[in-house]
């Protein structure tokens, strides 16, 4: 089954916050199976800006380079993905960035890996693996 990373999950992994083992195991499983976890460009950018804001641009650049070595495919946002994200935003109280996670999960029939409680609002719409 495909898995989609939310920025919350990837930040938890890098910061070794509670639940990071779930992300670590998903990354290890992807390596073993020669596959990738998925993440949109929007959510990868979210990771970058959060690290830049908290730790500076230099650290954000360093983490960006690390992300490129992980079994994570950064999915470009196209019109169809944007439209699907907009449908989530129109129906649910959830951040626009999180709507892209949900949209990608729906389109790829994937499970979202997150600990962000905001996703409780859409738990009936997509599969979620909580960290």
Cα gap 29→23, rounded to integer Å = 10
Q: Which pLDDT score, from 0 to 100, does residue 1 have?
A: 87
Query: Which CATH architecture group holds 3-130?
Result: 3-Layer(aba) Sandwich (3.40)
Query: Among the residues of 1-131, which ranges form H helices?
Result: 7-15, 20-32, 41-55, 57-67, 79-91, 96-108
DSSP 5-36: E-HHHHHHHHHT-TTHHHHHHHHHHHHHTT--
Residues of the chain with pLDDT > 70, as a percent, come to 100
Q: Which pLDDT score, from 0 to 100, does residue 50 have?
A: 98
For residue 116 the two structure tokens come to: 């962000």
Domain ranges of the chain: 3-130
Average pLDDT for 122-130: 97
Total-model pTM: 0.95
Average pLDDT, rounded, for the chain: 97
Output DSSP code: residue 69.
T
Q: How sure is the predictor about 8, in pLDDT bands with cuts at 50, 70 and 90? A: very high
């Amino acid at each position: 089954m495909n898995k989609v990373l939310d920025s919350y999950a990837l930040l938890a992994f890098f910061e070794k916050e509670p639940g990071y083992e779930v992300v670590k195991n998903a990354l290890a499983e992807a390596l073993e199976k020669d596959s990738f976890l998925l993440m949109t460009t929007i959510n990868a950018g979210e990771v970058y800006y959060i690290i830049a804001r908290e730790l500076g641009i230099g650290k954000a650049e360093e983490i960006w380079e690390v992300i490129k070595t992980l079994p994570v495919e950064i999915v470009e946002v196209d019109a169809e993905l944007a439209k699907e994200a907009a449908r989530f935003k129109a129906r649910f109280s959830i951040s626009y960035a999180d709507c892209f996670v949900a949209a990608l999960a729906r389109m790829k029939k994937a499970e979202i890996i997150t600990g962000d409680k905001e996703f409780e609002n859409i738990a009936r719409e997509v599969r979620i693996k909580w960290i």
